[in-house]
Amino acid sequence: MIIIMNGQARAKDVARVLKEIKNLQCKPHISKGKERTIIGVVGDVHSISLDRFSALLNVEQVLRVSKPFKLASREFHPDPTAIEIRGITIGGGNFTVMAGPCAIESKKVALRTGHLVAKAGAVVFRGGAYKPRTSPYSFQGLGLDGLKILNEVRRETGLLIITEVLGVSEVSAVSKCADILQIGARNMQNFRLLEAVGKVRMPVLLKRGMMSTIEEWLLAAEYILKCGNPYVMLCERGIRTFEKYTRNTLDISAVPVVKRLSHLPVIIDPSHAAGHREYVEQLSYAAMAAGADGVIIEVHPEPDKALSDGEQSITPDQFGAICKKFKKIAPVFGFKLNMIR
């Protein structure tokens, strides 16, 4: 249920509504817009009559939310969410470029890649210390040593750090060194993990499951939001289809669809979508044209020697060319490109 206050509503009118919500054993979520305050009611609202609120002073309208996801919906939160991290704003008209290797392999490779992607225009460094690999015999990541390397990359380059958290037991260690926690596609419906990152109140990038509908994806985001963490961004990384020439199929239409349904920022991962480095450039531009708030790209100084996802990793030079073009086309699509400092 949502309660829309009119332009004349004062703090005491809002307080009166909040008291009523509390009396009904529900929880309020307040969204203060430029002109109006919108109060979302979360809880068992089915049996509550709309009249209970519509009669209160300066309540303009009371509506039932038609979507199964509430906090993630535009109805609850009409303005787009912008997430500020150490002076960089993700969303809100800014386009953010995140880049780095699939996995943290060594201090040398990570630092080298970090410096190169920063120079080219990335503001966020990606790299997994804990890797969700399909085969248990593949490189699983350096774990805690990888996190230490990420700390050094952050200190030396000034880049923000995004890295994956694979399980509930790692949330605490990963959240100490990351600026953004990544929830991988394979974990999109790991509900205990979603609740755990919902409790830490730091930015989370939630990847879309490879077999998940947009509604399931937004409901997964809802788990994080419901636990009190409002800093959620969504990442479309390709879904599994019958097509074999690409690793996954980038669902580019998910961008305008999600933007219409939700206020959360959307990031495109062209690397995991394509699976082959020769398609990453074009898909990156498609992300901006579709209205995504940024991209996350796998970059490796020597892709053929990468310990994971080398085939879809581009070189720092190729990445530099993409950033150069982003600078040119960003104004055409109404974006401001995020830069370090």
Applying CB under 6 A, which residues contact ligand PEP?
Answer: 102, 128, 132, 184-186, 207, 237, 269, 272
Q: How far is the CB of 42 from ligand PEP (least distance, A)?
A: 29
Residues in contact with 125: Cβ distance below 8 Å, sequence separation at least 6, in sequence order = 98, 99, 100, 113, 114, 117, 118, 150, 153, 154, 157, 159, 160, 161, 162
CA distance 222 to 244: 32
Q: Name which of Mn ion, ligand PEP, none residue 100 binds, using a CB cut-off of 5 to 8 Å depending on partner kind.
A: none
CB of 11 to ligand PEP, least distance (A): 44
The least distance separating ligand PEP from the CB of residue 295, rounded to whole angstroms, comes to 12
**Is 225:232 a contact under the CB 8 Å cutoff?**
yes
Which one, 32 or 276, has the nearer CB to ligand PEP? 276
- 132's contact among ligand PEP, Mn ion, none, with CB below 5 to 8 A by partner kind, is ligand PEP
Our finding on whether 269 is near Mn ion (CB under 5 A) is: no
Question: Nearest approach, Cβ of 32 to ligand PEP (angstroms)?
Answer: 34
Nearer CB in complex with ligand PEP: 132/301? 132
Residue 188: CB minimum distance to ligand PEP, A: 8
Q: Tell me, residue by residue from 85 to 104, as one string, x for binding to Mn ion by CB under 5 A and - for no binding.
A: -----------------x--
Alpha carbons 303 and 101: distance in angstroms, whole number: 9
Among ligand PEP, Mn ion, none, partner that 121 touches (CB below 5 to 8 angstroms by kind): none
275 binds, among ligand PEP, Mn ion, none (CB under 5 to 8 A by kind): none
Q: Are 324 and 122 in contact (CB under 8 A)?
A: no
The single-letter code of the amino acid at 211 is M
Residue of this chain nearest to Mn ion (CB atom) = 102
Question: Under the criterion CB under 5 A, does residue 309 sit at the interface with Mn ion?
Answer: yes
Beta strand pairing call for 124-126 and 160-164: parallel
Binding residue count for Mn ion, defined by CB under 5 A: 2
Residue 137 burial class via C-beta count within 10 angstroms: exposed 0-12, middle 13-18, buried 19 and up: exposed
Nearest distance in Å: CB 252, Mn ion: 20
Q: How far apart are CA 327 and CA 337, in angstroms?
A: 7
Q: Considering the rule CB under 5 A, would residue 222 count as an interface residue with Mn ion?
A: no
Residue number with the shortest CB distance to ligand PEP?
184
Total Cβ atoms within 10 A of residue 335: 19
Q: Of 204, 265, 281, 272, nearest to 238 (Cα)? A: 272
Smallest gap, in angstroms, from Cβ of residue 244 to ligand PEP? 18
Closer CB to ligand PEP, 77 or 272, in the complex: 272
Query: Whose Cβ is closer to ligand PEP: residue 92's or residue 132's?
Result: 132
Which value, in Å, is the radius of gyration of the alpha carbons in the chain? 21
**Between 7 and 136, CB nearer to ligand PEP:** 136
Helix (H) or strand (E) holding 84: strand 83-85
Q: Give Cβ neighbours of residue 172 (< 8 Å, ≥ 6 apart).
A: none
d(Cα 229, Cα 184) in Å, to the nearest integer?
18
Quick one: which segment of 2-10, 85-93, 228-236, 304-312 binds Mn ion (CB under 5 A)?
304-312
Residue 149 Cβ, how far from ligand PEP at the closest point, in Å? 16
Site for Mn ion, rule CB under 5 A: 102, 309
